[in-house]
Amino acid sequence: MAPRTATDIGSALEALQRAGVLFRSGLHLEAAAIYRDVIRQRPRVPDVHNNLGVALKAAGHVADAVPCFRRAVRLKPDYVAAHANLATALEALERPLDGLEHRIDAWRLNPDDLEQRDALISALRRCPFDKPHAGARSVLTVLFERDDLDRQALASPAVRVWRAQPAIRRAVEAAAWGYPEREHPGSGFRPLTGFLPDELVLAALASAVIVDPEMEAAIVFTRRHLLSEVSTGRPANADLVWLTALALQARAVEWVWPETSEETADLRILDNRIGEPSPLSERVLVRALYRPMESDPMVDVLRREASMLRYDDASLWALLLRRSFLDTHAESRLEAEMPALTAIADDTSATVQAQYEENPYPRWLSTDRRPPRSLADHLRRVLPSAPLGRVPDGPMRILIAGCGTGRHAIQTARRYHDSLVLAVDLSRRSLAYAKRMARDLGVDNLTFGQADILALGQRADRFDLIESSGVLHHLSDPMAGWRVLRGLLAPGGLMRIALYSRRARAGFDDVRAVVPAEAPVIERVRAARRAVMSLPAGHPARALLRTADFYAASGVRDALLHVSETVVDPIWIDGALRELELRFVGFELPDPAILSLYRRHCRDDPSALDLSVWDAVEAERPDIFLGMYQFWCREA
Ligand SMILES: C[S@@+](CC[C@H](N)C(=O)[O-])C[C@H]1O[C@@H](n2cnc3c(N)ncnc32)[C@H](O)[C@@H]1O
């Protein structure tokens, strides 16, 4: 039946109601026709323009939706939803920079709206920034000032906005040209410290790992230049704030960058050149680009300086001293006090423990603080198509099995703030880092203990929720550990497990094959990084270049050089769940568009719960679980 016009209906209101009904029934173009009618008669109502845009976009006419949203925001400049809709439409048309303007408006109009903030941050992360962008610069500066945000997410856009300035871009590209061996011979290269220090890039260097191979090249050649100056007694004439931010970055990546034999020799010379009156000096900072400050020949002076810091000193120098001396000291004490809940008798567990004592993982510096929510609410967000049934409600007992350095455990404890969380790991150093961070962040419903999952079976307590992310695949027999965890699950409880995908990691063997087996760890890590950087374009392991893991020593060791690793596939997971009498509840997907791949294979399973179908989907797109199979399961 042809839609009636606004005049037929007699009132615009009635027409709008009818359009709403048509829209909800999926008749988007019919709804759009009514909105157009109404607009002809009442052209200045912003909501109707917005609704017309929504209807056209839903019908797949994204380009036609754009002018509708534009009219809506012109009529009502503080219309948050229309700005957000306009941004989404422009992003879908691959015009991310145009979209960003409206993401910024939508967030500025309502800065406490987490949805707008998340959308803004992901838009910033996707924008190419091939020229300077004042709007992005200004929102990033505001976002960096907040202490409830994961600054890792802000660092890449901050660096890209900064390096979009033509002179800086030339310097960075010249560095990247022959990295790691040498910079471009005809060199547009200039040490980064030759540019004015910039708040945005300083904040990024100080608070996150920079995920940008070209920027790494520029930092590495800058530090080489600084060392050659300072070790021969010449002043580097570098701004000390710049040097401090770079030293913080060197610390965050655990000094993973390549070092030539000349640099190693120059460092020895530098260590004999002490005696300057102030601890905050070019010599100390250039050395801190290569080695921990804790091993500086002037360590006693530096430690004293750290102990005298005012608690409200927010300078980068204070941050560097705090991280180098106060945090590490606090962690040593927490490590000594950490309770041992089980013995570590298994050989593989002992070997794995040794790796994470040397390289606690992951090295995180900040995390998002979000309002608490119930388990049911969380599951609805992460598994939108899963049939949930009954889930534990109210305070829960939660076990995090293999918590590493605690980021995930802290997020879980904050999310379910009225629950009690026990987080265990083999590595005492990782646990100490986790406990210090939990204490600094004021998370008090979380306790830590050293334990081997394999030995937890003797515990009498049971847990409503057990999370074990990136852990079971490091056991010599992952099923042995999973069986123990299954035995600890309370009736009606749920598990969230994450395991390595065989297909996603198949290309990693090409890297491992060229890494010397017997060299010291840092040499092996550097060899692995060099191998990844020289892989041809399109090689699956080059995906690592987009992960923070690749830019820090512990991350490379964890991802590529692990002492014990098993990879699985959906068919294996299916068999494991059957053996354990668990039911698959769904994958957390990095991109909801992946569900449409599943639906192409299997139309009549809206919950997407058939692991054999997932196996076929992954065979077609082997990269989709590069971030692991992250899934939920419960008693069958
Ligand atoms: C890759 S890290 C993951 C850390 C954390 N789950 C996360 O997602 O950030 C793996 C952690 O599992 C721990 N682990 C491995 N085998 C374990 C076992 N048998 N018992 C307890 N923890 C174990 C390691 O010590 C390490 O800290």
State in Å: Cα 80 to ligand 1 middle: 43
Q: Which of 150, 335, 352, 355 to mutate to test the pocket of ligand 1 (most atoms within 8 A of CB)?
A: 352
pLDDT higher than 90, residue 72:
yes
- In this prediction, residues 102-130 reach a mean pLDDT of 94
* pLDDT at residue 343 tops 50: yes
The confidence score (pLDDT) of residue 178 equals: 85
Whether 30 has a pLDDT exceeding 60, the answer reads yes
Closest by CA position to 383, among listed 636, 631, 634, 616:
631
Ligand 1, atom 13: closest residue by C-alpha: 402
* 463, β-bridge pairs: 489
CA 425 – ligand 1 centroid, Å: 6
Strands ordered across the beta sheet of 446-450? 446-450, 420-425, 397-401, 463-469, 489-499, 629-635, 582-587
505, pLDDT greater than 70: yes
Instruction: Compare 271 and 158 and report the one with higher pLDDT.
Output: 158
Mean pLDDT of 83-96: 96
Q: Is 628 in the pocket of ligand 1 (CB under 6 A)?
A: no
The answer, yes or no, to whether residue 9 has pLDDT greater than 60, is no
Q: What is the pLDDT of residue 439?
A: 97
Cα–Cα nearest to 73, from 53, 100, 95, 97: 53
CB of 187 closer than 8 Å to CB of 232? no
Q: What is the pLDDT of residue 276?
A: 64
| Ligand 1 pocket residue status of 356, Cβ below 6 Å | yes
Mean pLDDT of all residues in 114-132: 94
Give yes or no for residue 179 having a pLDDT over 70: yes
State mean pLDDT over 244-257.
98
Provide the H-helix boundaries in 178-260: 199-207, 213-231, 240-252
Residue 452: CB within 6 Å of ligand 1?
A: yes
CA distance 470 to 563: 14
The token pair that represents 384 in the structure block: 């939108």
Atom of ligand 1 nearest to the CA of 467: 6
> What integer is the mean pLDDT of 138-159?
95
Work out the pLDDT band at 12, boundaries 50, 70, 90.
confident
The mean-pLDDT minimum among 276-285, 477-486, 526-535, 615-624 falls in: 276-285
Atom of ligand 1 nearest to the CA of 362: 9
- Tell me how far the alpha carbon of residue 453 lies from the centroid of ligand 1, in angstroms: 9
DSSP string covering 589-621? PSSTTHHHHHHHH-TT-TT---HHHHHHHHHH-
pLDDT band at 275 (very low <50, low <70, confident <90, very high): low
- State how far the Cα of 572 lies from the Cα of 629, in Å rounded to an integer: 12
424 phi, psi to nearest 5 deg: -125, 155
- The pLDDT of residue 76 is 97
Tokens of 516: 């010397």
How far apart are the CA of 405 and the centre of ligand 1, in A? 9
pLDDT in tens, 91-113: 999 999 999 999 999 999 999 89
- What is the atom index within ligand 1 of the atom nearest the CA of 349? 19
Residue nearest to atom 15 of ligand 1 (CA): 471
| Per-residue CA distances from 322 to 25, 80, 246, 293, 307 (Å) | 59, 41, 16, 11, 9
Using pLDDT thresholds of 50, 70 and 90, give the confidence band for residue 474: very high
Query: The tokens 């939706």 sit on which residue?
Result: 65
> Class for domain 347-503+566-591+622-635, per CATH?
alpha beta
Looking at per-residue pLDDT, the higher value among 272 and 69 belongs to 69
Q: Is the pLDDT of residue 5 over 60?
A: no
Angle at 626 between CA 521 and CA 370, to 5 degrees: 95
Q: With a 6 A CB cut-off, is 284 part of the ligand 1 pocket?
A: no
Q: 6-127, what's its fold?
A: 1.25.40
Interval 162-175 mean pLDDT: 94
Binding site membership of 404 for ligand 1 (Cβ less than 6 Å): yes
pLDDT in tens, 595-619: 999 999 998 888 999 999 999 999 9
> Which atom of ligand 1 is the closest one to the Cα of 361?
2
Mutate to test the pocket of ligand 1, among 353, 359, 363, 426 (most ligand atoms within 8 A of CB): 426
For residue 93, what are its two tokens? 């048309």
CA-closest residue to ligand 1 atom 10: 471
Whether 496 is in the pocket of ligand 1, judged by its Cβ within 6 Å, is no
Percent of the chain at pLDDT > 70 equals 98
Instruction: List, in order, residues 6 or more apart from 205 with CB less than 8 Å away.
Output: 245, 246, 248, 249
User: From the CB of 407, is ligand 1 less than 6 Å away?
Assistant: yes
- List the single range of 233-242, 327-336, 404-413, 417-426 with lowest mean pLDDT: 233-242
The confidence score (pLDDT) of residue 2 equals 45
pLDDT at residue 279, as a whole number? 83
Distance 364 CA to ligand 1 centre (A): 15
| pLDDT for 8 beyond 70 | no
Using CA positions, which residue lies closest to atom 23 of ligand 1? 402
Residue 454 CA, closest ligand 1 atom number = 19
How close is the Cα of 404 to the center of ligand 1, in Å? 5
Q: Is the pLDDT of residue 233 over 60?
A: yes
pLDDT over 50 (residue 438):
yes
Confidence of residue 181 (pLDDT cuts 50, 70, 90): confident
Q: For residue 397, how far is its CA from the centre of ligand 1 (angstroms)?
A: 20
Does the beta carbon of 554 sit less than 6 angstroms from any atom of ligand 1? no
- Look over the chain and give the mean of its residue pLDDT values, rounded to a whole number: 94
Q: Which amino acid is at 251?
A: R
Where do the domains of the chain lie?
6-127, 159-330, 347-503+566-591+622-635, 508-560
Tell me which of 364, 471, 477 to substitute to probe ligand 1's pocket, judged by most ligand atoms within 8 Å of the beta carbon. 471
